[in-house]
Structure 1
Amino acid sequence: MNVLIKDEQLNGTVTNQFEIEIERLSITIQELIEKRVTHEIEIYNKKFPDYFNGLVKPSDAERTLNGFKLKPKQIIDVEKQIYVALDAFQKNGFFILVDNQQLEELSQIVNLNNQSIISFVKLTPLVGG
């Protein structure tokens, strides 16, 4: 099933959105973060677009209005980005809402359906590898 992922600011402004495929109806927050980060990095690493719009800013990337620009274009390390994202969640760098309900722990299980909306609300810029 596909679920909608949104990146939002605290004021509710959506800065990015896309769908990811989830194989199971029940998933932990940790698995959800790992799936999201892996999805966006795999897309970037296959196509090398001009900008990377992801949860975690890769190190050596410049923040621009259109996303993060890597100079030169380089493969992003998925494991490093996952580590930074999980760490940031635990340190309140961002929070996650699933169908407008806030999730608080990496081990928390969330039940999804094909109409679920998952919002990642960033509180601080996240820098990874």
Structure 2
Amino acid sequence: MTITIKDESLTGDILNQIQIAVENEIVTVKDIITARVSAEVKAYNKKLPEYFKGLIRPTASEKTLNGYKLKKRKKIDIEQQTFIAFDAFQKNGYLVLIDDQQAESLEQEVLVAKTTTVSFVKLTPLVGG
């Protein structure tokens, strides 16, 4: 099944939108974050474009209007980005809203359907590898 993930501002404006695949109807918040970070990093690593658009700001990058610009184009480590994303979630660096309900923990289980909406709302700048 495919679900849509949206990045939203604090005012509700949609900043970015991606599709991710989930294998089961019941997933954890941790599974959703892992799938999202993995999809973003794999897409970047495949082409190594000038800008990275994702949840976690890679190390040695600067924030621009077009995304994060890496000083040197190089592959990004999925595991490191995922770990930083988990840590940021636990430290309230961003909120995850599932069908307009705030996720409370990484282990929280979610029943996903075709109509499920998942939104990420960044609260602080996130920097990773």
Q: Is 1:47 aligned with 2:47?
A: yes
Query: TM-score, normalised to structure 2's length?
Result: 0.97
- Counterpart of 1:104 in structure 2: which amino acid? E
Q: Is 1:71 aligned with 2:71?
A: yes
Gaps of 5+ in 2: none
CA–CA distance in 1 between the matches of 2:86 and 2:21? 20
Computed over aligned residues only, the root mean square deviation of the Cα atoms, in angstroms, reads 0.7
1:38 deviates by 0.6
1:47 deviates by 1.1
CA–CA distance in 2 between the matches of 1:70 and 1:119? 26
1:48 deviates by 1.2
1:31 deviates by 1.2
Q: 1:39-58 deviations in whole A, cap 9, x for unaligned? A: 10000000112211100000
- Counterpart of 1:120 in structure 2: which amino acid? F
Q: Which residue is equivalent to 2:4?
A: 4
Moved over 3 A (4+): none
- Counterpart of 2:101 in structure 1: which amino acid? Q
1:72 deviates by 1.5
What's the secondary structure of 1:40's corresponding residue?
Answer: helix
What's the secondary structure of 1:68's corresponding residue?
Answer: strand
Gaps of 5+ in 1: none
1:128 deviates by 0.4
| Pairs aligned (count) | 129
CA–CA distance in 2 between the matches of 1:97 and 1:84? 19
Percent of aligned pairs with the same amino acid: 50
Q: Which residue is equivalent to 2:61?
A: 61
Query: TM-score, normalised to structure 1's length?
Result: 0.97
